[in-house]
């Protein structure tokens, strides 16, 4: 089972932060968010990744191609060309395929353009900007239990502003960015049967959420795995700051 990570968007709402890097390369601690996403999947045993690159695809390609250099100190002897790394490189046993699926390609076409890399009946796909404490094994078990074409993960989005807790007009506390108690959105972390690809085309205008998912839902072929835990995505600079604060304070809910 392979994991597709959709990493081709422009990330324009992040402003200057994504002028030189794609959004999945925004750093949380000393690693890009796409690394954190992959660590979560690999914790549950899913280590075969296909990165669907697009905008600034070269940055993703360079990062994974030169992973050891990005994660280790080194000495280079320019006379001999010898490169000597310092310290132990963090061990990962992933298989990572990075594919440039087009600059302005919509998500449906990006997935379709990866079809030749997908062997087997069931695969997963997620966005390159979202983190959660979702149990991937439970998600896969749920998908296999219902026999439908697609499973999406329903999550409660965080409130964009803090909430005031009051009693008789007296402020009792301030709650920063709580999860909302009602309403769900598609938080990524999706599982699909191979036949879903038959509903996609390689035309760059082929959308995913507002095309294929809607059609499959009307056919009764989409189920939702309801995740009641934590979920966050990087959409604005404040989200990046918030997630970095969680990481640096040891409160990263997605860390295993």
- The mean pLDDT value of the chain amounts to 90
223 - beta bridge partners? Answer: 151
11 or 7, higher pLDDT: 7
The pLDDT of residue 172 is above 60: no
Query: How many whole angstroms separate alpha carbon 185 and alpha carbon 131?
Result: 14
Q: Give the tens place of pLDDT for each residue, 41-64.
A: 999 999 999 999 999 999 999 999
Span 183-188, mean pLDDT?
Answer: 86
For the domain made up of 3-74+91-248, the CATH class stated in words is alpha beta
Span 107-122, mean pLDDT?
Answer: 96
What pLDDT is stored for residue 69 in this prediction?
84
The pLDDT of residue 161 is above 90: no
Q: At what angle do helices 136-146 and 33-43 cross, to 10 degrees?
A: 60
Domain residue limits, the chain: 3-74+91-248
The pLDDT of residue 171 is above 60: no
Q: Give the tens place of pLDDT for each residue, 84-111.
A: 888 777 778 999 999 999 999 999 999 9
Nearest alpha carbon to residue 187 among 68, 37, 81, 66: 37
Query: How many whole angstroms separate alpha carbon 25 and alpha carbon 128?
Result: 9
Span 122-134, mean pLDDT?
Answer: 96
Under 8 Å between Cβ of 191 and 185: no
């Amino acid at each position: 089972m392979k994991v597709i990570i959709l990493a081709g968007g422009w990330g324009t709402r992040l402003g200057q932060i994504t002028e030189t890097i794609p959004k999945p390369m925004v750093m949380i601690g000393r690693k890009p968010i796409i690394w954190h996403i992959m660590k979560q999947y690999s914790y549950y045993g899913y280590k075969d990744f296909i990165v669907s690159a697009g905008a600034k695809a070269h940055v993703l390609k360079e990062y994974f191609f030169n992973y050891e250099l990005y994660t280790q100190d080194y000495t280079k002897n320019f006379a001999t060309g010898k490169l000597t790394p310092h310290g132990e490189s963090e061990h990962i046993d992933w298989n990572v395929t990075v594919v440039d699926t087009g600059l302005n390609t919509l998500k449906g076409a990006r997935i379709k353009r990866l079809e030749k890399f997908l062997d087997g009946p069931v695969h997963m796909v997620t966005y390159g900007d979202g983190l959660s404490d979702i149990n991937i094994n439970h998600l896969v078990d749920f998908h296999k239990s219902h026999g439908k074409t697609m499973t999406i993960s329903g999550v409660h989005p965080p409130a964009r502003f803090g909430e005031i807790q009051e009693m008789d007009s007296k402020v009792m506390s301030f709650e920063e960015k709580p999860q909302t108690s009602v309403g769900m959105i598609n938080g990524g972390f999706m599982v699909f049967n191979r036949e879903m690809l038959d509903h996609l085309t390689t035309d760059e205008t082929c959308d995913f959420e507002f095309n294929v998912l809607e059609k499959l839902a009307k056919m009764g072929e989409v189920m939702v795995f309801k995740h009641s835990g934590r979920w966050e995505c990087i959409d604005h600079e404040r989200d990046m700051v918030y997630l970095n604060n969680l990481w640096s304070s040891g409160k990263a809910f997605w860390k295993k």
